[in-house]
């Protein structure tokens, strides 16, 4: 059927508003990207040694051959910036982005506001893997902890997936229930190992609460491909995710291959979550609250929700990590404590402001 | 001309078969109604034609194209469904919801254009919902949501529209408005329109041809005059009714049998008053 299209002047003003809405969302994305750069700059400057912004600028410019800048700073400053703070910040940003976008994806897929990236076994799988890593000889630990955490996370979700699958379809409720049950089982093993681990308990608990203190460039290099590719795949399915907010029958009748989209999104969100937690532990709160905060401010359209959540998650975790290492310096606060301690009041404030249905 | 043809189709869920050996064909420009009691398989038939479920036997053809072997995207450009009581995400605006109808015409890498917006606005004008464009679906009434869903179906620019109980939960004015629109689309836009209905009088007034389902099989098929009669209603629905021609257009009109107990005196209320 070809509709005889309405003349432009026949469209009432009240019905329009849409292009300007799109524009305002695009401005928000640009604004958040700018905010991300500001957050990175400021948090690079603060810490155990505060670095003046002018020095920071000069260290960066001196790396570019075009500029001829005299080194007026100690070599240690350069080490702090490039070997300690930057990798840590960037890892925090990547992890925050990954957890937030994975959380938004899970919430959209399950059509459930309580969903977070750890809903179907990623966290418990990663935790068990990491704990086994901690129990291995110390010399292996740098490699064994992240590797086993990653494998634990992916295997747990894969197991849940095959349990929940019925023929060619994947009922989402069964998936959640299977995830919760497997999670409880894996946690039981984890707790037993923790009690039996005695002297390694402190390290394990710190890992479980999350920390970026061991961040380095090789870790950034390891997680970047997963998080970039996974996030890109998720962003490309934003429209499908919108349509899937109707029920599955309607989504199919609108041309969405529901089972295929579910599988792709589940795999992408799981991989980026596994990559996010494997080096820095089970950082809570980001994956559930950031998507909701974005929804509260900018609405439920996944085409904007997903990129805005990605950027907000990165900014949030970069700032949270800066707080974690500076608030009680030289002691570091586990990042998971900061995210909940600072993030929850902020979210409650947003909730109070809007007072309407948010999902 | 456009036709939808079912050949010996059986449909069901898992091992349970709900519909057996269903065959019928639409006639261009004629609105086809599916009637039958609750549980007779009306909604299952809609799901089968839109390939949400695959026939366990037989074939469904749209213009010679086998529905079961057509890709979902392609099929959504041909067949649009207006479900009964659709779930619409509350926070999306009516415009967003109708825009979802453009999904099968867009791809992962293809963003919607001005033309898609124009199609959405046109579909909303046809369904008299333009003034609702910027409202959230959660704030709309049942009738408005129904019209939004029809607009979404139109935005798919399909060849066929399948309506599942489009008048359920609607007041009489919206029932008439919805079916008027469906018939207009059928006549003027030359769309194939198939609708399930539980109201026999609406079915008789609006549909050119009816298929009456009973226990998963076709009981009878034909014009309203030939399908709706007191004996058939008794057989299929198990209800005693009277069928008379409508005073204005002679179409069969169903009346329920009067309640035999209506004029009996109300039961004594002594017991109550004594207690008080």
Please tell me which residue, A67 or B273, carries the higher pLDDT value. Answer: A67
A187 pLDDT band (50/70/90 cuts)?
very high
Min Cα–Cα distance to chain B from A237, Å: 7
Is the model's pLDDT at A18 over the cut of 90? no
Q: How far is the C-alpha of A217 from the C-alpha of A86, rounded, in Å?
A: 9
Q: Which residue of A has its CA nearest to B151?
A: A3
Q: Is B275's pLDDT higher than 70?
A: no
Q: Taking 70 as the threshold, does the pLDDT of residue A356 lie above it?
A: no
pLDDT score, position B55? 92
List of chain A residues whose C-beta atoms are within 8 Å of the C-beta of residue B90 = 357
- Round to whole Å and give the CA distance between B64 and B4: 8
Which residues on chain A are in Cβ contact (under 8 Å) with B154?
1, 3
Question: Per-residue pLDDT tens for A259-301?
Answer: 999 999 999 999 999 999 999 899 988 998 999 999 988 889 9
**Model pLDDT, residue A261:** 94
- Residue A156, pLDDT score: 95
Supply the pLDDT for residue B126. 87
Q: Rounded to a whole number, what is the distance in Å from the CA of A162 to chain B's nearest CA?
A: 19
CATH number listed for the domain at residues B4-63+159-275: 3.40.50.300
Adjacent-strand bridge partners of B10: B57
Query: Does the pLDDT value for residue A236 go beyond 90?
Result: yes
ipTM, two decimals, is 0.87
Q: Which residue of A has its CA nearest to B14?
A: A167
Tally of CA atoms within 13 A in the half-sphere of B91 that contains its CB: 18
How many angstroms away from the CA of A38 is the closest CA of chain B? Answer: 31
B202-209 mean pLDDT: 94
Q: Does A243 touch chain B (CB under 8 A)?
A: yes
CA angle, B246 then B251 then B254, to 5°: 65
Residue owning tokens 């890709």: B71
CA-based nearest distance A293→chain B, Å: 14
User: pLDDT by residue (tens digit) across B61-113?
Assistant: 998 899 989 999 999 999 999 998 888 998 899 999 999 999 999 877 777 88
Angle between the N-to-C axes of helices A53-62 and A18-45, in degrees from 0 to 180, rounded to the nearest 10: 100
Q: Which residue of B has its CA nearest to A295?
A: B91
Which one is predicted more confidently, A14 or B217? B217
> Could you read off the pLDDT of A127-185 as tens digits, one per residue?
999 999 998 888 887 888 899 999 999 999 999 999 999 888 889 889 999 999 999 99
- Number of inter-chain CB pairs under 8 A, A vs B: 117
Q: Are residues A243 and B87, on separate chains, in Cβ contact within 8 Å?
A: no
Q: Residue B194: name the closest of B48, B16, B59 by CA.
A: B48
Chain A residues with beta carbon closer than 8 angstroms to that of B160: none
- Cβ distance of A254 and B123 shorter than 8 Å: no
Token pair of A111 as six digits: 């059509």
Sign of CA dihedral A286, A288, A293, A295: positive
A111 CA to chain B: closest CA distance, Å? 9
Query: Would you call B87 and A3 a contact, using CB atoms and an 8 Å cutoff?
Result: no
A24 in reach of chain B (CB within 8 A): no
> pLDDT of A302-327, one tens digit each?
999 999 999 999 999 999 999 988 88
Q: Return the residue in A1, A236, A305 with the most chain B beta carbons within 10 A, the one to mutate for interface testing.
A: A1
The per-residue pLDDT for B179 is 92
Q: What is the mean pLDDT of residues A200-225?
A: 89
Contact residues, chain A, for B146 at CB < 8 Å: none
Q: How far apart are CA A145 and CA A282, in angstroms?
A: 13
Q: Do A255 and B103 touch (CB under 8 A)?
A: yes
Residues 6+ positions from B204 with CB-CB distance below 8 Å: B210, B224, B228, B246, B251, B252, B253, B254
Q: Give the nearest chain B residue to A299 (CA atoms).
A: B91
Alpha-carbon distance of B62 to A173, in angstroms, equals: 35
What digits encode the pLDDT tens for the residues B30-72? 899 999 998 888 999 999 999 999 999 999 999 889 998 999 9
* pLDDT at A359 exceeding the cut of 70: no
> On the CB side of B182, how many CA atoms lie within 13 Å of its CA?
37
The pLDDT value recorded for residue B270 is 57
Q: How confident is the model at residue A93, as a pLDDT?
A: 96
Residues B213 and B11 sit within 8 Å (Cβ to Cβ): no
Strands (E), B83-185: 160-164
The backbone torsions φ and ψ at residue A336, rounded to the nearest 5 degrees and listed phi first, read: -60, -30
Q: Which residue among B81, B90, B131 places its CB closest to the CB of A253? A: B81
Length of chain A: 359
**For B128-143, what is the mean pLDDT?**
88
A258 Ramachandran zone, left/alpha/beta (phi>0; psi -120 to 50): alpha
Residue numbers of A between 179 and 238 with CB closer than 8 Å to B = 236-237
Cβ separation A12–B96 shorter than 8 A:
no
Cα-Cα-Cα-Cα dihedral sign, residues B200, B206, B210, B215: negative
CB B242 within 8 A of CB B257: yes
Residues A36-62: tens digit of each pLDDT: 999 998 998 888 778 888 888 888 877
Query: Mind giving me the DSSP string for A261-325?
Result: HHHHHHHHHHHHHHHHHHHH----SHHHHHHHHHHHHH-S-HHHHHHHHHHHHHHHHHHHHHHHH
Domain boundaries of chain B, sorted by first residue:
4-63+159-275, 91-157
Find, among A271, A194, A290, the residue nearest to A226 by Cα.
Answer: A271
Question: Are B121 and B155 a contacting pair, CB within 8 Å?
Answer: no
Architecture in CATH of A74-354: Orthogonal Bundle (1.10)
Residues in chain A closer than 8 A to B108 (CB atoms): 236-237, 239
User: Which of A8, A246, A257 is nearest residue B72 as measured by Cβ atoms?
Assistant: A257
Closest Cβ opposite residue A255 in set B76, B118, B130: B76
Average pLDDT over residues A24-33: 92
What's the confidence (pLDDT) of residue A89? 93
Please state, rounded to an integer, the average pLDDT across all residues of chain B: 88
What is the average pLDDT across B207-217?
93
pLDDT at B271: 54
Above 60 in pLDDT, residue B276? no
pLDDT at residue A66, rounded to an integer: 74
Nearest CA in chain A to B99: A243
Distance from CA of A13 to the nearest CA of B (A): 9
Contact (CB<8Å) B92/A242: yes
Record the tokens describing residue B39, joined without a space.
């549980």
Does any CB of chain B come closer than 8 Å to the CB of residue A8? yes
Mention every residue, 6+ apart, whose C-beta is less than 8 A from residue B248: none
pLDDT at A70: 76
Residue A147's CB: how many other CB atoms inside 10 A?
16
| Pick from B155, B156, B145, B206: nearest CA to B181 | B206
Q: Which of A217-226, A344-353, B139-148 ranks highest by mean pLDDT?
A: A217-226
As a whole-number percent, the residues of chain B with pLDDT over 70 amount to 95
Please name the residue of chain A whose CA is at the shortest distance from the CA of residue B162: A253
Residue A13 has pLDDT above 70, yes or no: no
Supply the pLDDT for residue A220: 93
Percent share of chain B, pLDDT over 90 = 55
Convert A181-219 to b/e letters by CB count within 10 Å (16 or more is b): ebbeebeeebeebbeeeeebeeebeebbbbbbeebeeeb
Determine phi and psi for B214, rounding to 5 degrees: -145, 120
Check CB contact under 8 Å for A253 and B76: yes
């Amino acid at each position: 059927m070809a509709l005889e299209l309405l003349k432009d002047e026949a469209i009432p003003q009240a019905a329009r508003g849409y292009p300007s809405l799109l524009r305002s969302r695009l401005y928000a994305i640009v604004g958040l990207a700018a905010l991300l750069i500001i957050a990175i700059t400021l948090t690079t400057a603060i810490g155990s040694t505060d670095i003046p912004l002018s020095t920071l600028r000069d260290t960066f410019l001196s790396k570019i051959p075009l500029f001829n800048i005299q080194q007026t700073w100690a070599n240690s400053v350069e080490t702090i910036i490039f070997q300690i703070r930057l990798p840590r910040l960037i890892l925090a940003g990547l992890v925050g982005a990954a957890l937030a976008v994975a959380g938004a994806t899970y919430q959209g897929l399950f059509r459930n506001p309580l969903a977070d990236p750890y809903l179907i076994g990623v966290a418990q799988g990663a935790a068990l893997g990491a704990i086994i890593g901690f129990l291995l000889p110390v010399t292996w630990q740098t490699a064994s902890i992240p590797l086993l955490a990653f494998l634990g996370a992916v295997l747990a979700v894969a197991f849940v997936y095959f349990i929940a699958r019925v023929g060619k379809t994947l009922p989402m409720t069964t998936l959640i229930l299977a995830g919760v049950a497997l999670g409880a089982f894996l946690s039981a093993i984890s707790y037993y190992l923790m009690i039996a681990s005695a002297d390694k308990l402190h390290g394990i608990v710190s890992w479980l609460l999350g920390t970026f203190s061991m961040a380095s460039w090789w870790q950034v290099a390891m997680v970047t491909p997963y998080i970039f590719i996974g996030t890109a795949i998720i962003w490309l399915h934003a429209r499908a995710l919108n349509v899937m907010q109707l029920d599955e029958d309607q989504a199919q009748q609108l041309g969405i291959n529901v089972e295929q989209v579910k599988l792709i999104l589940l795999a992408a969100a799981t991989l980026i979550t596994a990559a996010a937690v494997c080096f820095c532990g089970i950082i809570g709160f980001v994956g559930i609250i950031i998507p909701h905060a974005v929804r509260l401010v900018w609405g439920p359209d996944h085409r904007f929700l997903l990129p805005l959540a990605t950027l907000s998650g990165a900014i949030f975790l970069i700032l949270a990590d800066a707080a974690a290492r500076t608030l009680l310096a030289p002691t570091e606060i586990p990042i998971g404590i900061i995210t909940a301690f600072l993030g929850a009041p902020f979210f409650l404030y947003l909730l109070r402001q809007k007072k309407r249905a948010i999902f | 001309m456009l036709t939808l043809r079912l050949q010996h189709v059986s449909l069901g869920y898992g091992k349970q078969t709900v519909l057996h050996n269903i065959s019928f064909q639409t006639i261009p420009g004629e609105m086809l109604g599916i009637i039958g009691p609750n549980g007779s398989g009306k909604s299952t038939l809609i799901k089968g034609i839109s390939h949400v479920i695959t026939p366990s036997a037989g074939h469904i053809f749209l213009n010679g194209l086998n529905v079961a072997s057509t890709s979902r995207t392609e099929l959504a450009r041909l067949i649009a469904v207006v479900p009964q009581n659709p779930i619409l995400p509350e926070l999306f605006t009516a415009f967003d919801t109708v825009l979802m109808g453009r999904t099968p015409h867009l791809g992962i890498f293809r963003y919607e254009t001005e033309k898609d917006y124009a199609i959405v606005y046109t579909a909303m004008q046809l369904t008299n919902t333009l003034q609702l464009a910027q409202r959230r679906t959660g704030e709309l009434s049942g009738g408005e949501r129904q019209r939004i869903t029809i607009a979404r179906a139109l935005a798919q620019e399909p060849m066929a529209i399948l309506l599942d109980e489009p008048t359920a939960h609607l007041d009489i004015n919206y029932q008439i408005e919805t079916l008027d629109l469906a018939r207009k689309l059928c006549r003027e836009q030359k769309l194939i329109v198939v609708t399930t209905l539980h109201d026999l009088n609406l079915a008789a007034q609006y549909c050119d041809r009816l298929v009456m389902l009973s226990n998963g099989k076709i009981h009878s098929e034909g014009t309203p005059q030939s399908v709706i009669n007191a004996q058939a209603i008794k057989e299929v629905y198990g209800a005693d009714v009277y069928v008379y021609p409508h005073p204005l257009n002679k179409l069969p009109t169903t009346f329920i049998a009067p309640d035999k107990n209506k004029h009996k005196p109300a039961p004594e209320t002594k017991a109550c008053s004594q207690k008080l």
